[in-house]
Chains A and B, each alone.
Chain A
Amino acid sequence: MKEIINMKNAMKIAVVTLVSLIMVSCFDNAKPNYQYMPNMYAPVGYETYGDYEIFPSGQEAMLPVDGTIPRGWEPYDYPNTTAGLNDAKATLTSPLAVTQESLAQGKQLYDIYCAVCHGEKGDGQGILVKREKILGIPSYADPGRLITPGGVYHVQMYGLNSMGSYASQTNQEERWAITQHVMNLKATLEGTPLLVPEEPAADNTEEKSTSTSVAGH
């Protein structure tokens, strides 16, 4: 009699542990959790980076239609060739005025995109170079290279040799701001005078800077 009850108890304990084990094993980190009302969660429109049958290869992220340009985009006439680079070095000049803001923005962006290889001082000793992941990054003061603002902009636009293009990560204004910072770094390394920021002349420039910085609403 006693033994039978014990058997029953054991069965019950086994069932409870089994059920709790099954419940616990349902929490799989590789799968998303259940949702209360999925039709409130899932978007009606096409989501950024979504996968929908209507698009070619199912990809929402597509290149713009041929001939269309993003707002504020300006054509860049120098071709991605050696001749184009030399041309840009000689003739291309910055449309961006040197201001405190543009220099600060240039430094901030340079530290994000360029400093990993070129180093924060522009001496070619970025963290990737120090760790020997990418080698042979020259200093901006390298005598064998002609570094001009136009050339710096051109190289950011198209890349050069092993360096890739940064046109997808930055816009025109940002590339020119980075160019200003690069020229300042080169001047610091060579001991020549730095770029002098213009005095904020009137309300004009201030309005412009605030209106650009409040993008994204």
Chain B
Amino acid sequence: MDNNLIDRMEQVPYRNLPSKLSLLLLTMLFALTVANPVAAATNILPTQAIDTAAGEALFKANCAACHKLYKKATGPALFQVGDKYEKKWLYSWIKNSQEMVKSGDAQANAIFKEYNGAVMTSFPQLSNTDIDNIIAYTYKAKKAVAAAAVTTATTSSNSGGFSNDLILGALVLVFGLLVVMLVLVQKTLKRIAEANGVTYAEKPARKPIWQAFIDNQFLVLVACIFMLLSSGYFAYGYLMQVGVDQGYAPVQPIHYSHRIHAGDNQIDCNYCHSSARKSKHSGIPSLNVCMNCHKNIGEVAETTLAEGKNEYGVDYNAEIQKLYAAVGWDEDTQSYTGVSQPVKWIRIHNLPDFAYFNHSQHVTVAGVECQTCHGPVEEMEIMYQYAPLTMGWCINCHRETNIQVKENAYYEKIHEELSKKYGVENLTAAQMGGLECGKCHY
């Protein structure tokens, strides 16, 4: 027994060991990653001062459109490109690649053919030192796997402050304890009193409360009326929401976050829903529109990935892979396989067949913001139906909204005549005929 205790006490000083060890490992790793590119860079060009930071800026401004460091893109991956080609060759290739291809240079023609004759833009503005800096930057080692970043993010987010739920839970616990204590105290007091010989007089049998209630005819009447009214209220409410899909948020085949695309990245709604400008439907973008950007963006940033995993339980990279599978994009060869499958998006906003609605009329002619009907889409991680889309809701907006007549020759004449007729300065959509049955039902 005693021995065990001592054993346990001796273990205590070592309990920090794992974390200390991992810290040591981390620092070593860090030192290695920092040391590597510097060493490599100095190996290549010992005489000149190399500025990897300037190289990084130049790389991002000029090369990154077609080249990635560790992955093939439009052009080859550039990690440690200085080992693959002579420095002089790189200078002239970067400054004018087509001239080298024409001059019959074997290496130039080989790479030109390998990438199906994609022409590399000439960069005459880059000096040799600039190119040296860029090459030095390409020796930057790949960061440790994203998993580490995710775990650190989770721990930090967990340790940061108490959540409201935790505080509430603690309060409830304290309250419960108090109640239990009160009951216990009352019981013991009673027991002590009984032990001391105090006797409690038997209470006379009272009229039960429901008997009293039934005897009071007025109260019964009032209660009945109240019950009828309230059940009528709830029944009305229930019947009125049948057929209304407000808040409908189905699980889509690919987790597409409007929050990231329209919110964080501020991509215009019309970029993807391009037919909202000129047709009845706002249009679900075909996958080639996704690929306009995602041809380049195969992985999300580490912070975005961690955010998705921690807050929404979604692996955004896996969702991008779903897109690639559906559109038939092969990342390794950077080409389409030709094997594609439709993504079965689930329709959210659905007007009944007997109501006609035209997007272009509202978006282009009236200039209504998408958010007026669809709500704060730029904040929605999962898309849901914001408006009730009932007839009353449509009519209400038509009554309240003035039509756009400024610089709109189409409405000029009718606006002049109607505003005279109604004696108002600005016509509402309703006054222009926005309440006529045949406008939406035919």
Contacts and interface: CB of A to CB of B under 8 A. Distances in A.
A binds B: yes
B125 A128 contact: no
Interface of A is mostly: loop
Given A133-B297, A162-B73, A168 B288 contact: yes
A159 B350 CA distance: 34
How many interface residues does chain A have, given as a range?
Answer: 35 or more
A68 interface: no
Contact of A34 (B242, B291, B354): B242
B64 A112 contact: no
B278 interface: yes
A31 B346 CA distance: 10
Given A30-B251, A44-B353, A169 B121 contact: no
A143 B268 contact: no
B62 A57 contact: no
Contacts of A143: 124-125
B344 A51 contact: yes
A29 interface: yes
Contacts of B301: 132-133
A138 B66 CA distance: 11
A210 B365 CA distance: 12
B297 A215 contact: no
B274 A35 contact: no
Interface string B269-305: 0110010001111001010110111011100010000
Given A41-B243, A145-B121, A210-B410, A162 B60 contact: no
Interface string A119-147: 00000100110011111111000111100
B438 interface: no
Given A33-B245, A33-B248, A169-B271, 9 more contacts: A33-B242, A33-B244, A48-B281, A61-B286, A128-B293, A136-B64, A162-B74, A163-B292, A210-B409
Interface of B: 60-67, 73-74, 117-119, 121-125, 241-245, 247-251, 264-268, 270-271, 274, 278-281, 284, 286, 288-289, 291-293, 295-297, 301, 341-342, 344-345, 347, 350, 352-354, 358, 360-361, 364, 384, 409-410
Q: 10 tightest CB-CB pairs across the interface, nearest first?
A: A136-B65, A135-B64, A136-B64, A164-B292, A216-B360, A169-B274, A41-B352, A43-B353, A112-B268, A161-B74
